[in-house]
Structure 1
Amino acid sequence: MLGRCVSFARQVSMTDASSPPSATDTAAASDRLSAIDVFRGLTILEVVGHHASGMALRHATPGSLTHDALTILNRSLHFAVPAFVFLSCVVLTNSLLRRFNPGQYYWRRLTRGGWPYLLWSVLYILWYVWTGQRDAASLEDPQRWWTWLAYGKGSYHLYFLLVALEVYLVLPLLLPLARRRPSVSVALLAGLAAQIGAYFLNKEVLHLQFPASTAFWYVLPITLGVAVGARFGEFEDWWRRRRVILLPLLAAAYALYLPVALAYVRGERVTPLIYSTLSWTFTALVALALMGLAHRLQRGPDRVRVAVATLGTVSLQIYLLHPAVLQALELWRAPLGPPALMLAQVVIYALVALLVPAILGRALLRTRLSTWVFGR
């Protein structure tokens, strides 16, 4: 899921999107925190909001205004994994274009990505049994273990770490493309076409059991991330010129995506290709818009920038821990009662699930325990 960072335009360390660097104090952080940290911070806020709204939906009355509003919010915030995949490709492409040492690269990806995935999969499998969310007998079933570990199903959020591992594996193969510095606009269109091609390849040939748990389902954000990473120094100017087209396009994609997404959630019949294509388009445009916003915030007020970017420096820690915090709070006292009271409780739970892992992650930064538990 997510070294020390200086301004990304000057230097990008060989880290993935969920392994942000850290600052030692607020003043130093203000100088070093980059647009990439801001992007991570914005995206991890979305992750917690998405999962907190999902928790609230379990306790809202179906058909009520509150339930409908929460469903709209939940589906609107359903873009974190494509955004993090996009950012991983941006960061690593920029780094690998400067220096690629295969042995070092794959070892770091294994220790920073593979080990945390295995560790947290086991921890969450045990957590679900301990909290009564799964039968203890499931631990004796080898097929369940295979499903949990091979498809990122140890917990609902861990598939991102599995997808990231696959992205790390294939990204060096895309370096010849990155060296040609493809146009971001062309990458957006070509990536969408390739993504639709991947959809049909899976439908007719591969028949993957859980395609969304594989990098195969993220061809578009991978392609887009490689193009942006190859031209990162030009991205801000590119976004400034193209946003007059891309922001209305994002609004149109959202307007088309949302009704189909709501129908899907309600169990109504939808055309899989239409739903997937609209989702891919919407999430890719959101990723670009978030990168544009991150650059804008980078030049904004220090208080806002540092707050969001500091969350970004512990985005992996928040990503890994927040589901357990939300579940523990829900098991302790489910958000019930009148809509206003329930929503206030959900907001408080979301803040706790955000801040407790953030504080813990910051406290453990640069310690041996952090390396063992989070991979960095």
Structure 2
Amino acid sequence: MTTTEIAPAPAAAPARAAHLYQLDLYRVITFALVILMHVLGATTFPQDVVSDALETPLHLTREAFFALTTFVLVFSYRSRPPRPMAFWRRRVPLVAVPYVVWSVLYWGYSLLTAEQPVGSVAAALRALGIEIANGTAWYHLYFLLVTLQVYLLFPVLMKLVRTLERRPWLVLGISGAVQIAVTCFLSYPPEGVEYSTVSRFFTTLLPYQFYSVLGAVAAVHFEAVQAWVRRHRWFVAGGLVVTLAVAETGYFVSVHNGLWPELASDAFRPYLVPWCVAAIAGLFLVGTRWAEAGRRGGRVVSWAVDRSFAIFLTHPLALALLRPLIAFVGDGVGAPWTTVVVYPATVALTLVIVEVLRRLPWSKALTGRPPLELKRAAATAAA
């Protein structure tokens, strides 16, 4: 049995689900694309047609993460459904505490760097409360708020596992129809519906529910899904090419018809749905092939996975601190060299910040992980 295969479930539920190494590479690639997405946005203009064309397919990252999150949860508990209170006590604080802490930190950073007067303390605190409730303290924190919603609804999802086992295509069909309807509503809201109304949906699970259901179905039928991906790897690769062409065609047609490039590349465009599904399958295929080929660079990947949550939390801060570099390179050589220079600089500074945070006594509140022991950190650096 290879590291990517799961043995048939014994009569007694296992104490712990087997580790799926292919998901490690899936996670690392997706986080790398998240940083690239945000660097592109920071180093190019919103009306840049070419830059927005590159950003269009990169929106797959949020859908890929929600599929991964639900997959991991369902796979871990598919043979031993958790008790809701025990599950919430264990899982929710690992996300909720860093979410609140970083909401406060980014709120404080925005106050310190604001060009306009801050106003009263009471007004600033009210703004903080609203931002925590809405997931808007910084542009990436909505992800944690939606993750908390996944955790809160997970016990309900586990009650549907039998349905997922017996009627997976029916469940996916219903969920997919809802996804298309929601996506069309967000992209083309009815006349009279204000953007402030539409934007409230962005930090809820509703625009991502299909990808969470997709992850749950894949976890319940993991062995069959992995076997299919192995047998049809060229079909998956072809699907990536075709759906990417569809996504980019939809983008350029929208721009040609007068839609602002930044809006045409929005994450909630219907022409992105097939691409996101194909990209999720493609990421899983790449991870599977890597795991079966011996996991070259496995220590580096494992190291990155251990820090992935902290990297997600801190990379926007690193990017904000690099604004002088962005301005300097942008004024000197312009695009696309600004992105080429700033991307590795953002990754490097993020890793430095993460390494510092992981060694602090309150690392768990900042990164969701306990602090690194000095001896373990030295061994990791040597390796």
Encode CA deviations 1:110-160: one digit per residue, 9 max, x unaligned.
Answer: 211111111111111111221236752386256633441222111111110
**How many angstroms apart in 2 are the aligned matches of 1:96 and 1:314?**
24
Question: What is the count of residue pairs matched by the alignment?
Answer: 348
1:256 alignment partner, SS class: helix
User: Which structure 2 residue ranges, 5 or more long, are not aligned?
Assistant: 8-13, 370-383
Is contact 1:124–1:155 with CA below 8 Å preserved after alignment?
Answer: yes
Asked if 1:171 corresponds to 2:154, the answer is yes
**How many angstroms apart in 2 are the aligned matches of 1:333 and 1:187?**
46
Is contact 2:74–2:219 with CA below 8 Å preserved after alignment?
Answer: yes
Encode CA deviations 1:298-343: one digit per residue, 9 max, x unaligned.
Answer: 223644444344322211111111111111111355131465x654
Counterpart among 301, 304, 309 of residue 316 in structure 1: 309
Is contact 1:33–1:309 with CA below 8 Å preserved after alignment?
Answer: no
2:135 alignment partner, SS class: coil
Residue 106 of structure 2 corresponds to which residue in structure 1? 124
Q: Which amino acid aligns with 1:78?
A: H
Is contact 1:246–1:285 with CA below 8 Å preserved after alignment?
Answer: yes
User: Normalised by the size of structure 2, how large is the TM-score?
Assistant: 0.77
Q: Which amino acid aligns with 1:167?
A: V
Residue 3 of structure 1 corresponds to which residue in structure 2? none
Asked if 1:71 corresponds to 2:55, the answer is no
Residue 218 of structure 1 corresponds to which residue in structure 2? 208
**How many angstroms apart in 1 are the aligned matches of 2:288 and 2:72?**
15
Summarize the Cα distance change of 1:268–1:200 in structure 2 as closer, same or farther, 3 Å threshold.
Answer: closer
Q: 1:89-100 residue pairs with structure 2 within 5 A?
A: 89-99=70-80, 100=82
Asked if 1:193 corresponds to 2:187, the answer is no
Residue 55 of structure 1 corresponds to which residue in structure 2? 42
Residue 21 of structure 1 corresponds to which residue in structure 2? none
Is contact 2:311–2:350 with CA below 8 Å preserved after alignment?
Answer: yes
CA RMSD in angstroms, aligned pairs only:
3.8
Asked if 1:102 corresponds to 2:96, the answer is no
Encode CA deviations 1:144-178: one digit per residue, 9 max, x unaligned.
Answer: 33441222111111110011011111122111332
Rg larger in structure = 2
Give the superposition deviation at 1:366.
8.4
Q: Which amino acid aligns with 1:231?
A: H
Residue 330 of structure 2 corresponds to which residue in structure 1? 336
Give the superposition deviation at 1:350.
1.7
**How many angstroms apart in 1 are the aligned matches of 2:354 and 2:147?**
20
1:153 alignment partner, SS class: coil
Give the superposition deviation at 1:221.
0.4
Summarize the Cα distance change of 1:274–1:53 in structure 2 as closer, same or farther, 3 Å threshold.
Answer: closer
Give the superposition deviation at 1:272.
12
Q: Which amino acid aligns with 1:238?
A: W
Q: Which amino acid aligns with 1:125?
A: W
User: Which structure 1 residue ranges, 5 or more long, are not aligned?
Assistant: 1-5, 15-31
Residue 142 of structure 2 corresponds to which residue in structure 1? 159
